[in-house]
Amino acid sequence: MSVFSLASVPLAVNPLDAGSLLGAFGALGIAVVLFAETGLLVGFFLPGDSLLFTAGLLCVSGTHGPAHLSLPQVLIAAVAGALLGAQAGYWIGRRGGRALLARSRARRLHEGAARAEELLGRYGHARAIVLARFVPVVRTVLNPLAGALNVPARVFTLWQVAGGVLWTAGLVLAGYALGSSVPDVDRYLLPIVALVVVVSLIPLAAELLRSRNRRAAGAEGDHS
């Protein structure tokens, strides 16, 4: 099946399972998922990191997985989805502002918004926009938040492109390199993907811990 063909798509596709998405939609699915995850608030739950890494693994010749993908097509689809999604999120934020977040009842989205605003305040626009690409949920919320906070469009575009290319190409090529160097790596696909998911959550957990420590230190200071 061509990676861009939707023929023979299974009736049941698990949107949280990278293998299921890739087996059903191939490279086209990568572009759609990354666009939704980085451009639409409803896409915060999608598996961007594991999807990219798994796609890289499935580009290796001889790998027996849910699909065999083309590395150039995967890279093009990943970069296009991530860059277009971030830009769409930014312009949605410029038009809708904070009202978009206020309508959502998802606790993870509001926590992600707090982390995104903290990154922008602590590191400045350039570093925050790049770093946010590597933090789940934060990369979903920061783009519309940057628009709502009136981050200059040229600044946002420059750094979201830099961060988007680094994030997508880095994870795809890391998966491809691992698949090329480890024989029969597809046997370990599930534990590898699980490890990628855990590692991708480390920055978010670290930010939450630092934030709690700062709040605790501030509370102690107020009582002293």
The pLDDT score that the predictor gives to residue 214 is 62
Predicted confidence at residue 10, as pLDDT, reads: 47
Cα–Cα dist 127/209, whole Å:
20
Q: Give the pLDDT score at 204.
A: 59
Residue 25 has a pLDDT of 80
Number of CB atoms found within 10 A of residue 131's CB: 19
In three-state form (DSSP H/G/I as H, E/B as E, the rest C), the secondary structure along 27-96 is: HHHHHHHHHHHHHCHHHCCCCHHHHHHHHHHCCCCCCCCCCCCCHHHHHHHHHHHHHHHHHHHHHHHHHH
Looking at residue 78, its pLDDT comes to 96
The count of other CB atoms within 10 Å of the CB of residue 105 is 7
CA distance 218 to 224: 10
Tell me the three state secondary structure of residue 146: helix
Tell me, what's the pLDDT at 6? 41
Q: Give the model's pLDDT for residue 207.
A: 60
For the chain, 224 residues long, give each residue's pLDDT as a single digit of tens.
Answer: 444 444 444 445 666 677 677 877 888 889 999 999 998 888 878 888 888 988 998 888 876 666 788 999 999 999 999 999 999 999 998 887 667 667 777 777 777 777 777 778 888 888 889 988 988 888 898 898 888 888 899 999 999 999 999 999 999 999 899 888 876 655 655 566 666 666 666 665 666 566 666 666 666 665 55
Q: Please count the other Cβ atoms lying within 10 Å of the Cβ belonging to residue 5.
A: 11
Residue 144 and residue 41 in contact, taking contact as beta carbons nearer than 8 Å: yes
